[in-house]
Chain A
């Protein structure tokens, strides 16, 4: 009987839910897909399996826009799912300028999973309704990997962690050099699912409770006269699991997947976190293999948290020379736009504004592949009160006023095997770095439009004016202007420096080509002849917001086809008589 009632309730709930979703009951909020094919709640977070399931729903609902594939397996054997999104009815998908985005390389920095998923959802649900998106998917392809660290994403969510752990992936390492691997991690002593703080009453402790807010500890200053109870802080919740006289000294990991990339990689002693060699973690290797096999990728974005930053490289001070003025100007243009789109975020450079480290993802994408790449540090305390003047303590106000106490475990007594009577409590792992649910959709949307701005400015080629001039002896001179009307060149200057990507090919067909040349100056007829294969002119670059002019001397033919074939700029063609 009980079961029967429960079923009825469920059916009623589902019915009510479904009815509420029917089109006539909905009034569209501007900027959000109305009555989407796939319903996703963007006020909560999803495990690796949760994200995978949403990705599958999106792919199943939009077969003409999405191809879903696994780009590799994680350490623990999970698929790393990628959604390749474009308008598959036009052009060859993998020849369109590509934009790669991923989230969650640091396992505790979870928002990237939802932001990437929101982007995939928005693209597919808006195609055909929002002309900007329809156009974008006609000539661009998005490669979206919601999580490139699925194992440790789940570990962060399902196992006791702080807001900053495990950060690594799940390959066990021996952090304390005792020959044992990951044998002394955190312990959730109070069973709240999070690793919080341990404190102990002590006559000599250097903290007291804030009399106005007992959740907060205040450090005693030299001249303070203390009459109340003093406390000492004992660090993160845990015990000495391996009996070696240390607590929490060998947690899962530790290596940093964002020190595992192949541009000027350096070992662990240079900056903590490097694993064995570039792409020694299977997850980063899967991404690198995918990117190497997709030379059409011209722009990229990775999502981290937190701090409200739009970061560009270089990651390491020693690598400053890699970023030259021409490319920095492009980064600046996109980054500054990002500051407008993402209030509270600052456009910064990793090595001077964050820390100076080698082996980052954005460094390899740019230094190793010539792809303009940003890393966004999602969420900043600014979001709570939209106020830049409030300090670090605003989280206590926000915890009380906005989260209504959710996300904080009050300090409770605990009998610790080493420390004796202690108190355990503090903010849970989902407060501080992860965006609170009621703000998550906005943060996803704003980061997505930043990605779109970046993707919009990938090279966009067309064959512009073509003139055909008759020369003596029945020869013709065909001159074509190739236009790139966006910010990015087909080859970043880093690319040009090392010939990372092949030249762009501009081919004339429809007649016998006797000579081919690049026109350096049309007015003064300055040309540079290409003696070999004159029908396919090799152009080292088609700069952003600029043109390249090429010319052929042709025998015979009436209709000429001019085809531009650029690895990062795509394929365009035009026929002229």
Chain B
């Protein structure tokens, strides 16, 4: 055994070790190491840092392609779209690994642009000394717009390293304990004869004594709130205007030059795969379009059906978008086939012979967590002394953050495999231009009519209906290339075709005088190039 093979064996072994040993979500260093390892192992994988965030962290892009990336239709996959969704990063990483290791043949036809973590500043909070579900990046923001920056953050009052909730006994409060699980606080409803006896706040003090608790802490701009569609102006985490952050600009500046991109898959709360978007005529017919368009509704339904076969939509949470999200931008403003899913959600606890299924969503989750063996899902209420409430009983506790969006790590592998299978099915459907049924007819001496069918061999259209409107999706260009001794009598040397639907065909014809070879070329970056040479 020579030194090189020994080294590769060692490398393979160490990789095996890492794969086997991985039991927890990976932090920034581990994600970076995994990416670098993929890039160094596979010639099809290329790692680029698009930029560094304000927090000094890389925005990585792993490009998977056999050959020049722009030469194949492309799919972008985005993880870490929401800072508390560590699962998205893991799925994206594992999908990359699965594709390049187990399905390299797809890279001969499709390029994957994988952005495993678009919120690295925020996801770091999971691994920090004080853990909380953070969405914002490291940009300093005045979340309550009072002129002071970060003046009222959370405090870990019970010293458990996690920010949860505080309940304060107070006859003026509007919360009460839930009957079926008294760990859970719910709003009381006076119309149902209920009286509130608690206040419920996030864990911390009112540092700036403005009556609001923890309203302006680390804050930052949330990756999934800073896009252009339906931007939530002047709300915490949105930023001063759309695309105000360096990572957004870097990502968009890159994507706007990738003409071959036809689909974008984001892992986030938005979910049009479990339940497809519904067409709404009034929203679709205004100039500022707020509904999926009719043709695209049908495609979404088809993709959703494919997805649900792999990942059943039972108990899938409401996945409607909240404005400013990457998913909405990808469809409404970038015109691409946009897919989004949280990737995983807790199943409903249906009850068993001993335990009744709680109706309340949170209570049901706790029952589910217990049944699944998820430990410490609820941090028990613990009494503390709170300087802002000197004469009240104050307790800290609540659901452990992250759990409802991020499954036990052991499930990550199988989730990633299913999503890999899904994206491979999308790749199988991708638009593909073909020139077929070529016909030559002699119309007269030296005069030939050429007829050819331009066929989209994919099940997906070359352009979404939205993409047809966008200047950022190139039209199909068809060229008939003649030589000097040939003359085009009828038909155009260049013609532009707006769109060809999935498995649809357009017939083209030209009348040419002369002899020798002419070439027909049909090309669009997101569906490839088809060429035929004809000898007249």
Residues of B within 8 A of A262 (CB): 240-244
Partner of B243, one of A245, A267, A277: A277
Report the separation of the CA atoms of residues A177 and B496 in the bound assembly, to the nearest whole angstrom: 8
B211-237 contacts to A, CB under 8 A, are: 228, 231, 233-234
A269-B470 contact given A292-B240, A368-B241, CB 8 Å threshold: yes
Partner of B256, one of A264, A276, A499, A503: A276
Which are the 7 A-B pairs with shortest beta-carbon distances? A502-B147, A262-B241, A499-B145, A498-B234, A269-B469, A532-B209, A277-B243
Binds A, one of B39-47, B73-81, B352-360, B471-479: B471-479
B281 within 8 Å of A by Cβ?
Answer: no
Interchain CB contact under 8 A, B210 and A245: no
Report the separation of the CA atoms of residues A264 and B259 in the bound assembly, to the nearest whole angstrom: 26
Interchain CB contact under 8 A, A270 and B288: yes
Interchain CB contact under 8 A, A502 and B470: no
Chain B residues proximal to chain A, CB less than 8 Å = 142, 145-147, 208-210, 228, 231, 233-234, 240-244, 248-249, 252-253, 256, 259, 287-288, 332-333, 469-472, 474-475, 477, 492-494, 496, 523, 525
Q: Give min CB distance, B210 to chain A, whole Å.
A: 6
Report the separation of the CA atoms of residues A355 and B470 in the bound assembly, to the nearest whole angstrom: 21
A267-B477 contact given A277-B243, A318-B288, CB 8 Å threshold: no
Residues of A within 8 A of B332 (CB): 267
A552 within 8 Å of B by Cβ?
Answer: no
Report the separation of the CA atoms of residues A459 and B413 in the bound assembly, to the nearest whole angstrom: 62
Q: Give min CB distance, B292 to chain A, whole Å.
A: 15
Residues of A within 8 A of B241 (CB): 262-263, 265, 278-279, 288, 364, 368
Q: A177-B475, A265-B231, A499-B146 are in contact. List 19 more A-B contacts (CB 8 A).
A: A177-B471, A178-B494, A179-B477, A245-B492, A265-B241, A269-B471, A271-B287, A277-B242, A278-B242, A279-B243, A280-B243, A280-B249, A280-B253, A368-B240, A498-B234, A502-B145, A531-B209, A532-B208, A532-B210
Q: Give min CB distance, B127 to chain A, whole Å.
A: 31
Residues of B within 8 A of A503 (CB): 146-147
Interchain CB contact under 8 A, A278 and B470: no
Report the separation of the CA atoms of residues A270 and B469 in the bound assembly, to the nearest whole angstrom: 9
Interchain CB contact under 8 A, A245 and B494: yes
Q: Give min CB distance, A265 to chain B, whole Å.
A: 6
Interchain CB contact under 8 A, A500 and B471: no
Partner of B233, one of A268, A276, A498: A498
Residues of B within 8 A of A523 (CB): none
Q: Give min CB distance, A464 to chain B, whole Å.
A: 24
Q: Give min CB distance, A467 to chain B, whole Å.
A: 28
Interchain CB contact under 8 A, B242 and A265: yes
Residues of B within 8 A of A318 (CB): 288
**A: number of interface residues (CB 8 Å):** 40
Report the separation of the CA atoms of residues A174 and B257 in the bound assembly, to the nearest whole angstrom: 11
Partner of A267, one of B249, B470, B496: B470
Residues of A within 8 A of B145 (CB): 498-500, 502
A288 nearest in chain B by CB position? B241
Report the separation of the CA atoms of residues A265 and B234 in the bound assembly, to the nearest whole angstrom: 15
Number of A-B residue pairs, CB cutoff 8 Å, is 97
A177-B242 contact given A243-B493, A532-B209, CB 8 Å threshold: no
A301 within 8 Å of B by Cβ?
Answer: no
Residues of A within 8 A of B259 (CB): 179
Interchain CB contact under 8 A, B228 and A267: yes
Report the separation of the CA atoms of residues A440 and B240 in the bound assembly, to the nearest whole angstrom: 39
B468 nearest in chain A by CB position? A269
A268 nearest in chain B by CB position? B471
Q: What are 20 sample pairs from A and B whose C-beta atoms fall under 8 A apart?
A: A177-B496, A178-B477, A178-B494, A178-B496, A179-B477, A245-B493, A245-B494, A263-B241, A265-B228, A265-B231, A266-B288, A267-B470, A278-B242, A368-B233, A499-B146, A502-B147, A503-B146, A503-B147, A531-B209, A538-B146
Report the separation of the CA atoms of residues A125 and B333 in the bound assembly, to the nearest whole angstrom: 49
A132-162 contacts to B, CB under 8 A, are: none
Q: Give min CB distance, B222 to chain A, whole Å.
A: 17
Residues of A within 8 A of B474 (CB): 174, 177, 179
Q: Give min CB distance, B472 to chain A, whole Å.
A: 8
A213 within 8 Å of B by Cβ?
Answer: no
Q: Give min CB distance, B294 to chain A, whole Å.
A: 16
Chain A residues proximal to chain B, CB less than 8 Å = 173-174, 176-179, 243-245, 262-271, 276-280, 288, 292, 318, 358, 364, 368, 498-500, 502-503, 505, 531-533, 538
A245 nearest in chain B by CB position? B492
A177 nearest in chain B by CB position? B475
Interchain CB contact under 8 A, B288 and A268: no
Residues of B within 8 A of A288 (CB): 241
Residues of B within 8 A of A364 (CB): 241
A358 nearest in chain B by CB position? B288
Report the separation of the CA atoms of residues A158 and B525 in the bound assembly, to the nearest whole angstrom: 36
Residues of A within 8 A of B256 (CB): 276
Report the separation of the CA atoms of residues A178 and B475 in the bound assembly, to the nearest whole angstrom: 7
Residues of A within 8 A of B210 (CB): 532
Report the separation of the CA atoms of residues A516 and B60 in the bound assembly, to the nearest whole angstrom: 52
Report the separation of the CA atoms of residues A279 and B241 in the bound assembly, to the nearest whole angstrom: 10
Q: Give min CB distance, B286 to chain A, whole Å.
A: 8
Q: In the complex, which of the residues B249, B287, B470, B492 has the most CB atoms of chain A within 10 Å of its own CB atom?
A: B287
A272 nearest in chain B by CB position? B471
Report the separation of the CA atoms of residues A82 and B235 in the bound assembly, to the nearest whole angstrom: 32
B146 nearest in chain A by CB position? A502
Report the separation of the CA atoms of residues A277 and B332 in the bound assembly, to the nearest whole angstrom: 13
B333 nearest in chain A by CB position? A267
Report the separation of the CA atoms of residues A7 and B242 in the bound assembly, to the nearest whole angstrom: 59
Residues of B within 8 A of A271 (CB): 287
Q: In the complex, which of the residues B147, B253, B469, B523 has the most CB atoms of chain A within 10 Å of its own CB atom?
A: B147
Q: Give min CB distance, B250 to chain A, whole Å.
A: 12
A565 nearest in chain B by CB position? B147
A500-B234 contact given A265-B228, A267-B470, A278-B241, CB 8 Å threshold: yes
B253 nearest in chain A by CB position? A276
Report the separation of the CA atoms of residues A174 and B475 in the bound assembly, to the nearest whole angstrom: 11
Q: Give min CB distance, A423 to chain B, whole Å.
A: 28
Residues of A within 8 A of B233 (CB): 368, 498
Report the separation of the CA atoms of residues A267 and B333 in the bound assembly, to the nearest whole angstrom: 6
Q: Give min CB distance, B489 to chain A, whole Å.
A: 14
Interchain CB contact under 8 A, B494 and A244: yes
Residues of A within 8 A of B228 (CB): 265, 267, 277-278
Q: Give min CB distance, A178 to chain B, whole Å.
A: 6
Residues of B within 8 A of A245 (CB): 492-494
Q: Give min CB distance, A388 to chain B, whole Å.
A: 34
Residues of B within 8 A of A173 (CB): 471
Report the separation of the CA atoms of residues A178 and B332 in the bound assembly, to the nearest whole angstrom: 23
